[in-house]
Amino acid sequence: MMQADTNTTPTILLIGAETELIDAIAATLGPVRSVTAVVVHKPVESAARQPELEQASVIVVDLDSRRRESLLALQGLIARLGLAVPVIVLTDGFDDALARWFMQIRVADFLRKPVDPKEVLRACIRALRGAVEGPSSGGEILSFLSAAGGVGVTTLAIEAAMLQMRDSKEADTTCLVDLDWQNSACADYLDLEPRLDLDEVMSAPERLDAQLLEVMLSRHKCGLSLIATKSRPTQANFLDPAFVLRLLDLVSARFERVVIDLPRSWETWTDQVLLGSSRVFVVTDMTVPGLRAGRRWASAVAARLPDIKPKVIVNRFEQQLLFGTGLRRVDVERALDGFLAGTVSNNYKLVREAIDRGLPLEDIKAGSNVSSDLKKIVFNQSTAELRSSPTSLSNVA
């Protein structure tokens, strides 16, 4: 392995198990004094934690797109980098679905093998020039999970979408996506007619494109867009993961900010949705069983998807008096053991009125404690922690 002198030149990190190709690229980069090449002869899933990643200015990955673990490792790598380091991918298995996926996870460039090492050099130079200008801000995707029934996850997802919409400097940039097909409550809460016709698109999912997406958007008078279907209480979630992730591809490409209300049941596509999220929130309430459930859910998600850092929102929080007998904030913090994102005050009367009238909380009472509490949670993360958009991983794995 060649050692980088990061004090004087940008470092181009070459990752791949195909020794001949990686060494040929390194040899081409060698005479270029303005960069330093570092080689890691490992597949991306084995190299994703290499210390050399910390010094890299550009990363080139020789990807075996037939290996699901390689695809997941690439997505996780880009997510951890936070778009601060351009990633160039070399691959031989190539089709439209893979190209679309590369764009969705914010791959800086991708080249089809066999590839001329000089073309890789040119791609690295382009990526370095782009890095000097700074990474693109990208969109933000917030996903909400429920730790138990009736904890108010839909209310918080809607309000989070409203907060995102009001924070945006441009109109028509925020979309709420109701993925709980069985219960599908977002449209009822907003007094909207759900326009996603599953019977129509499921029979021919290839018809789902940007134009059809516009037809299937419900729009609230406040400016929020909604993707939702009519609830199917007696039917289990039956949707093909490829369809779900294709839908999210289109939504994330269309909108700057996306909020996803997920079903409590773990579906075959849930992993990919969470991996494509900027942040994942588990919602629970301020009861002993609720706090235990919140911690179990957050711990389980973190164990299943190590690249995800789920946080718990405790809804309907009530501050107890000093000598009261109920749960206090210190009890909440202790119970959640580092998973706590924040608490949202209990204001049942306000929330009920907003739901009954199909209005945002802000229209009922400006600056309410519920909105103020959630705003602190939604906007307290740095942009460096943003993750990539939902992807069509199941289409290409």
Together in a domain, 101 and 213: no
pLDDT tens sequence across 178-220: 999 888 999 999 999 999 988 877 766 667 777 788 889 999 9
pLDDT for position 387: 40
Q: Is residue 392 one of the residues assigned to a domain?
A: no
* Mean pLDDT (whole number) for 106-116: 83
The CATH number for 338's domain is 3.40.50.300
Q: Is residue 190 one of the residues assigned to a domain?
A: yes
Together in a domain, 208 and 340: yes
Q: Is residue 393 one of the residues assigned to a domain?
A: no
The whole-chain average pLDDT of the chain stands at 83
pLDDT for position 321: 58
Q: Is residue 1 one of the residues assigned to a domain?
A: no
Examine the fold and report which residue of 75, 103, 136 is the final residue of a domain before the chain moves on. 136
pLDDT tens sequence across 38-55: 999 999 998 877 888 888
Together in a domain, 105 and 168: no
Q: Is residue 93 one of the residues assigned to a domain?
A: yes
Total number of domains constituting the chain: 2
Instruction: Please report, to the nearest 10 degrees, the dihedral formed by the alpha carbons of residues 212, 213, 215, 218 taken in order.
Output: 160
pLDDT at 9 over 90: no
pLDDT for position 229: 92
The CATH number for 51's domain is 3.40.50.2300
Together in a domain, 193 and 265: yes
Strand order in the sheet with 36-40: 36-40, 11-15, 58-62, 87-91, 109-112
- Of the pLDDT bands very low, low, confident and very high (cuts 50, 70, 90), residue 395 is very low
**pTM tops 0.75, yes or no:** no
Together in a domain, 104 and 240: no
Together in a domain, 197 and 181: yes
Residue 121 vs residue 159, higher pLDDT: 159
Together in a domain, 366 and 258: yes
Together in a domain, 127 and 153: no
Together in a domain, 57 and 168: no
Q: How many CB atoms lie within 10 A of CB 60?
A: 30
Q: Is residue 179 one of the residues assigned to a domain?
A: yes
Together in a domain, 78 and 131: yes
Examine the fold and report which residue of 136, 154, 182 is the final residue of a domain before the chain moves on. 136
**HSE (CB half, 13 Å, CA atoms) of 365?**
13
β-partners of residue 141 are 258
Examine the fold and report which residue of 72, 107, 136 is the final residue of a domain before the chain moves on. 136
pLDDT tens sequence across 264-302: 999 888 888 898 888 999 999 999 999 999 999 999 999
Together in a domain, 306 and 327: yes
User: Which of these, 176, 196, 195, lies nearest to 186 by C-alpha position?
Assistant: 176
* Rg of the chain on CA atoms, in Å: 23
Residue 61 lies in domain: 11-136
* Mean pLDDT (whole number) for 163-176: 88
Together in a domain, 117 and 148: no
Q: Is residue 52 one of the residues assigned to a domain?
A: yes
Q: Which amino acid is at 184?
A: S
Distance, in Å, from the CA atom of 294 to the CA atom of 281, rounded to the nearest integer, reads: 10
pLDDT at 138 over 80: no
pLDDT for position 10: 85
pLDDT for position 85: 86
Q: Is residue 394 one of the residues assigned to a domain?
A: no
